[in-house]
Structure 1
């Protein structure tokens, strides 16, 4: 089976969105399928911000990606972007053969994909990873409940309604759509996962790793990911002086980058070497630093986005065998059971954040968290491994083909029958 994935952005850029895409590709390759990525103009804009060039087609992360040029002028920006994506999908289909087209968030990707699928006679799947209007609220680009926020919300609903099959990555998104009137059976759950081979257990904390990185005796608390306001990293930096009153050697390792990086660096400047920024790291380099950590801390703020969506970060930390202390937003509560697979604390409560950091570090070093770490890692590898995701995609694509056939009175493609 050949699957065309329509994406907002992809490797070589780094983000949780990219990590999930590569996981989906790996799951489908394990099924013997051929996934191909096609990015919309937003990828080229992201590359321009990173001062990089955008080729027409390239291999990145070991996979093939087709690019859509970011044209200028003419229609309003959103219509121009969707029109360019529509034309690029049609062009890709004229140059290659595909069995199904799989659009991923946001709806700006899904709507032109649905139109192209109808013209091509191909089933279209739409996968929602987050409601992007909520992320725009966090960045200050939209106001919750405002006209543009409501417009994007309606676009998401139209994409779900018009696609041949729809999927969500977590229960929070599914519950929200059901509350809007969508039937639960219309929404397939395709949760975040990890590739077990990429996350071997790091075992006990490695003092030599910390020494080699110049981090001292610690304890060392870490965060790895994109620096968005909703991650609450400013709260983490502000909590560190109080943590250091209880644990004088405590240091904070911030791995990654993003729109809040400069503001975070200014906030951390008075703390000197107690806060270390590494920039974005390759997988092997990231693993070296995780080996030195006493805990991964995820202080996400409470808002619609964080209550409804699940991040990858807790899964990756638990797979590596590191304790996790996270705020009690809905996305974290779907992944972590307080006291059993990690520690949860009230979102936005600095005193609770400080207590969670101190207690986690002390328990980790005393050996009191060994059972919790083993339970968390075992559950991730058993329930959240991309190796088990292939059959879910097979069922989703077969459903999309059946719906398309029923809608158009066309015969069911042979590949759909073979998938069940």
Structure 2
């Protein structure tokens, strides 16, 4: 089958979005499908062209020169149409955000190709989570309306977790229109846990025998790292050898660094900053427990994150807040530890208890890795798409021909800004 993926951005950019994209496309190629991706104008390619990254063909869209968001959508739709004319996909598979599905809808319809729209998170809730929007405001409502418009016109929908599926059904979407394609990992990328790098540990002041709690990722407000820092004095009181290692960066980095500097246990909190992707494993090798203290909000209750799965695949212990997205991934006391969200005292108590008893760590690591292998490995999970693709291509939407049709030069209507 020939599948054209419509993407906001792609490799070589490194993000959770591109890691999931890479895993899907590589697994589909390995399964024998012909696959290509087309990235949007916000990827910031200088010109429209094609490049192959990690064995995947990505067709780039040049930045739109005018027209705001509506101009971007029109430019993206024309590029999707031009790529589709050459690639001739059986299915067009658009991924979040909603503007990608809006841009893909017109060329899909004009060329008779079915459209699958995959929702990884709701754009409006992601904006609230990163602090650029307020829930219930006019922009939030407009974005939600756009999301609903795109969902209504797609031939089928995919979501990454049960939380999102439940929300779509509550909005009135027919359950049979929705498939769940859960977050997963490419297990070929994760082998034995990396060995401890003694030189790196010494440079950071981490001593043998220290209890090291770590977070490696992006510093957004919804990640709850302020609660983790606030928990550190209580954790150190219970476990004097406890240290916190924070690797990454993002909008909250400056505020978090100031909070850590003012902490009575500031010397036990280490900010590393951003590190090159190939260096990340060195820091994983120093951490005893990966902590994910996400705050409770619509975004975190509905959406499952990728980082805990990657940690479990690598044989690391995980502890996380009990928001809905984490509860879909972690069985408390079995494959990981859950603690109360938005509660530094609860964070400290859970981590102290976990660090105090290491006897069950090897078995817990093994159970977590086994869960990922059985339920979240892309080598098997990617086949969930096949039945949906087949149903769509066997149905009324299957194309009969591929006329050379271009998207109109101008787009009617306006779209909300991100």
Q: Normalised by the size of structure 1, how large is the TM-score?
A: 0.88
Aligned to 2:376: 384
> Matches of 1:349 and 1:61 in 2, distance apart?
42
SS at match of 1:69: coil
Write the mapping of 1:330-409 to structure 2, written as runs, cut at 5 A.
Answer: 330-363=324-357, 366-405=358-397
SS at match of 2:369: helix
> Matches of 2:118 and 2:173 in 1, distance apart?
15
Deviations 1:323-362 (A, max 9, x none): 1110000000001111111111110011001112222222
Aligned to 1:414: none
SS at match of 1:82: helix
1:227 paired residue among 207, 219, 239: 219
Matched, 1:294 2:288: yes
1:264 paired residue among 256, 274, 286: 256
SS at match of 1:405: coil
> Matches of 1:319 and 1:274 in 2, distance apart?
26
Which structure has more relative contact order (CA 8 Å, sep 6+)? It is: 2
5+ long unaligned stretches in structure 2: 402-418
SS at match of 2:383: helix
> Matches of 2:329 and 2:118 in 1, distance apart?
20
CA change 1:273–1:346 in 2 (3 A) is closer
5+ long unaligned stretches in structure 1: 48-52, 412-420
CA change 1:268–1:62 in 2 (3 A) is farther
Aligned to 1:31: 31
1:142 paired residue among 129, 133, 148: 133
> Matches of 2:199 and 2:4 in 1, distance apart?
42
Matched, 1:70 2:63: yes
Higher mean C-alpha displacement, 104-113 vs 366-375: 366-375
Question: What is the Cα deviation at residue 261 of structure 1?
Answer: 2.3
Matched, 1:153 2:144: yes
SS at match of 2:296: coil
> Matches of 2:33 and 2:324 in 1, distance apart?
34
Q: Normalised by the size of structure 2, how large is the TM-score?
A: 0.88
Q: Is the 8 A contact 2:112 2:397 kept in 1?
A: no
Aligned to 1:281: 276
Deviations 1:46-99 (A, max 9, x none): x8xxxxx677433334422122122233x3x22122111101101212333322
Matched, 1:122 2:110: no
Q: Is the 8 A contact 2:196 2:282 kept in 1?
A: no
> Matches of 2:231 and 2:145 in 1, distance apart?
39
Higher mean C-alpha displacement, 33-42 vs 380-389: 33-42
Question: What is the Cα deviation at residue 273 of structure 1?
Answer: 6.3
Higher mean C-alpha displacement, 208-217 vs 22-31: 208-217
> Matches of 1:263 and 1:213 in 2, distance apart?
24
RMSD: 2.2
Q: Is the 8 A contact 1:192 1:312 kept in 2?
A: yes
Aligned to 1:15: 15
Q: Which runs of 4+ in 1 moved over 6 A?
A: none
> Matches of 1:41 and 1:357 in 2, distance apart?
44
Q: How many residues align?
A: 396
Higher helix residue share:
1
SS at match of 1:297: strand
Question: What is the Cα deviation at residue 138 of structure 1?
Answer: 2.2
> Matches of 2:338 and 2:253 in 1, distance apart?
25
Question: What is the Cα deviation at residue 27 of structure 1?
Answer: 1.4
Matched, 1:96 2:87: yes
Aligned to 2:172: 181
CA change 1:233–1:66 in 2 (3 A) is same
2:163 paired residue among 153, 162, 172: 172
Q: Is the 8 A contact 1:138 1:229 kept in 2?
A: yes
Question: What is the Cα deviation at residue 396 of structure 1?
Answer: 1.8
SS at match of 2:64: coil
> Matches of 2:177 and 2:394 in 1, distance apart?
13
Matched, 1:6 2:18: no
> Matches of 1:65 and 1:197 in 2, distance apart?
22
SS at match of 2:63: coil
SS at match of 1:237: helix
Q: Is the 8 A contact 1:15 1:225 kept in 2?
A: no
Matched, 1:306 2:300: yes
2:72 paired residue among 64, 81, 87: 81
